[in-house]
Amino acid sequence: MIVSKQERVIQIISHIVLGLMCVCAVIPFWLLLAASFSDSSYAVAEGYKFFPEALSLDAYSYILNQWAQIGRAYGVTIVVTIVGTLSSLLITSMMAYGLSQKNLPGKKLITVLLLITMLFNGGIVPQYMIYSNYLHLKNTLLGLIVPNLLTNAFTIILVRNYFQTSIPYELLEAMQMDGAGPFRIFWKLILPLSKPILATVGIMSAVTYWNDWNNGLYYITDSKLFSVQQLLNEMNNNILFMANNAGQLAGVDVTTLPTATMRLAIAAVAIVPIMIAYPFFQKYFSKGIVMGAVKG
């Protein structure tokens, strides 16, 4: 295929812009990791650098010493992320499938009510009262799952548009003529052909569950049910408290605590698993965003 001079210039400019954006995205992560391996006193004196001269594993050693509790928190986060993501995908895809049907009664009204939720919500206080006083989700794993399980309108519309534009309606009619009902069509046809958009929505949901600590702050007080984000945040607050109140803590040597690099190490421990998993789903993510964003 012959590429014109104008198209070649556009391609070069596009690659330059994307390259600069990639650099801007990678630099903060590199600084985060490099600084987390720095010696705490060196970081205080010299500041955080991309290539620190004084390296230290003190921050990670402190985290490893607390690994019994951190390991439990990782287990809680993994369970919550997997169960919450799969449940959110099921709810989102089923509602999107219903809204993609041409003959759905009350389709416009349901769509309007769905879009209203993008503009208004009940607020934190009513939500907390319902989940705590009526559903009794406090200090249960459901307290970390259910609040994010009530999916948002954006993902539903994204999936609905994918169903309408990427799955030929003739396939649905063919299965209906063969006697297949709505649930069989959904399980046997819709879901197998929707891997890109489901992977896209799944990544967004998984990242939301993995990074969530607000729900833990609201509904979890039992340390055995702490998620990794909530636990690491508690560790960070405890270290800062000891550093700021060193004179009042008799018998506690806080001078050896890597307070300057601890927060960075905590952030690295929390974010690295997502960074490792993302490349395996990247191709589905890109395709799903493009196809799902098409106006239906």
Rounded CA separation 270/90 (Å): 27
Query: Tokens representing 283?
Result: 């191709």
Q: Which amino acid does the sequence have at 202?
A: G
Query: Tokens representing 252?
Result: 């506690």
What is the pLDDT, as a whole number, of residue 292? 45
What is the pLDDT, as a whole number, of residue 150? 66
What is the pLDDT, as a whole number, of residue 86? 92
- Taking the alpha carbons at both ends of the chain, their separation in whole angstroms is 32
Rounded CA separation 68/54 (Å): 29
What is the pLDDT, as a whole number, of residue 293? 46
What is the pLDDT, as a whole number, of residue 248? 56
Cα angle 290, 291, 294 (rounded to 5 degrees) comes to: 90
What's the whole-model pTM score?
0.76
For 54, which DSSP code?
S
Query: Tokens representing 92?
Result: 């989102």
b/e per residue, 14-52, with b = 16+ CB within 10 A? eeeeeeeeeeeeeeeeeebbbbbbbbbebbeeeebeeeb
- For residue range 184-224, list pLDDT tens digits in order: 888 888 888 888 888 888 888 888 898 888 888 889 888 88
The residue ranges of the chain whose pLDDT is under 70 are 1-3, 150-151, 239-260, 281-296
- For residue range 104-124, list pLDDT tens digits in order: 888 888 888 888 887 877 778
**Structural domains of the chain ordered from first start:** 58-292 (1.10.3720.10)
